[in-house]
Amino acid sequence: MSAMATAMVTGPSDWMVVLCAVATLAAVPLLTLCVCTLDRLLQTRMRLRFGGKGISFVSAFAGEMASFRDSVFAEAAPDDCEPLWTWGAPFASFFFALMGLAILALGPLTHLADLSTDLVLVCAAGACSGFAALLSGTFEHGKIAAADVFRAALKFIACDTAAVLALISAALLAGSLSISEIAQAQWERGAWLVAFVPIAFAIYMVGSACGAQGASLGAFLHDDSDRPASGNGVRGLLFIVGDSINIVTIAGVAAIVFLGGAARPLARYHDRLLGTSIELFDALPAILLLVAGAAFLRRALRERHGAADFSQSVPRTELVASALCLSFAILDGGALLIGHSATAVANGVFWLCAKTLACVLMLLWLRIAADAVRFAQWMKFAWGFLIPLALANIAGAAIAVALRQSLAWSPGWTGLVTVGVALATALLLVRGRKERRLELRAARRTDAAE
């Protein structure tokens, strides 16, 4: 709080802090809606392709809204449980998710929570939120489901441990636990951390996606229907919001820590392709948004003339999206053309949002895909493969840092060392598993022969 207090008293501008806080709070419903819509789209695609049923927690979203409207506070609490827990756990889940998002969004922007350890804090907030979701799952579903919820909790612990260990190797290479300093280190080095620890990035994405899947699975245990077995009304809504915010926070951490934050690709490379003073990569956001806006517009117009079974709201949504894209593109491009400095800020926001969106999509896809894997397989995979690999990554990163500091190796060579150590470990692990599987199969065959 001392940092907070000094920022409050001597900080650049109080109104900026308040503005950012209000903006973050206002963005929460929007983010929830975006994540839920993306999840629904992805699930529809996946189901069309593979068949079977997914987690279907978004298809429940409409039902949630209906039951929320029906019974705001008059919902029946499940019997045999403490009101303190049934209400406390959803609120805790929501609160911790909000805390993670606030630290991520407000820390670097306003120095409100400018801690030297905010990466750890974001991880802690995510873990607390997931555990709260699991806890309330225990109470929502009574004693029968408690075993399932604890199973989901075990999965959550294993996958989240791997994800946090993967983050540590990145922090080790960047030399800081502060998110803004990690972004700064990547800027100074001229390369994103994903180039040095690609395996850690993969582990982080897989681990956090499966952790999130475990948490949402614990909170929304399903019967055969599409609706979740319980978790209606306000409590269910709190979970969905908390869950979506968590996904956004995880994706934001990945985008900043591994993918360089607001820096554009090839930040150190200056080209003069498009004329005398404008660089291609500075113009790229405007061009991309222009293309996206045009695509949305074309699709909206085609939908209106096309089949009648689409609801009327679809073209309207796409019109709004296209208008947003086009206006941003025109503003950004205009600022670029007249050489206004606003284009740097706008491009930074664009790149950060684009990276976060890409990570959100990847996480959602992984989460849906993770549903097909059985619990025992997950545990074996997480403890036997992900966590050892993450530990090897940490060792590799430590060796790289030592080489850089004592022998003054260049970042490229040290990066090769890190990747080499991780790849060697991965190969060893995979080979070990394969051999064990072959041995098992041989043993089974001899058993069958006898």
Chain residues binding another protein by CB under 8 A are 1-6, 8-9, 82, 84-85, 88, 115-117, 120-121, 123-125, 127-128, 131, 135, 138, 146, 150, 153, 177
Dist CA 339 CA 320 (whole Å): 28
Smallest gap from Cβ 152 to another protein, in A, equals 13
* Residues 206/250, Cβ–Cβ less than 8 Å: no
For another protein, the closer CB: 160 or 243: 160
Smallest gap from Cβ 226 to another protein, in A, equals 30
Smallest gap from Cβ 121 to another protein, in A, equals 5
For another protein, the closer CB: 68 or 150: 150
For another protein, the closer CB: 178 or 213: 178
Q: CA separation (Å) from 153 to 116, 216, 269, 442?
A: 30, 10, 46, 35
For another protein, the closer CB: 87 or 187: 87
Dist CA 184 CA 174 (whole Å): 9
Smallest gap from Cβ 164 to another protein, in A, equals 9
Smallest gap from Cβ 55 to another protein, in A, equals 23
The residue written with tokens 């206004």 in the block is 340
Among candidates 231, 155, 189, which has minimal Cα distance to 387? Answer: 155
DSSP string, 99-124: HHHHHHHHHHHHSTT--TTHHHHHHH
Dist CA 253 CA 51 (whole Å): 32
For another protein, the closer CB: 373 or 402: 402
For another protein, the closer CB: 71 or 405: 405
Smallest gap from Cβ 292 to another protein, in A, equals 39
For another protein, the closer CB: 3 or 290: 3
Beta carbons within 10 angstroms of residue 259's beta carbon: 23
* Residues 216/55, Cβ–Cβ less than 8 Å: yes
Helix (H, G, I), strand (E, B) or coil at 230: coil
Contacts of 428 (CB under 8 A, 6+ apart): none
Smallest gap from Cβ 185 to another protein, in A, equals 14
What residues does 228 pair with on adjacent strands?
A: 222
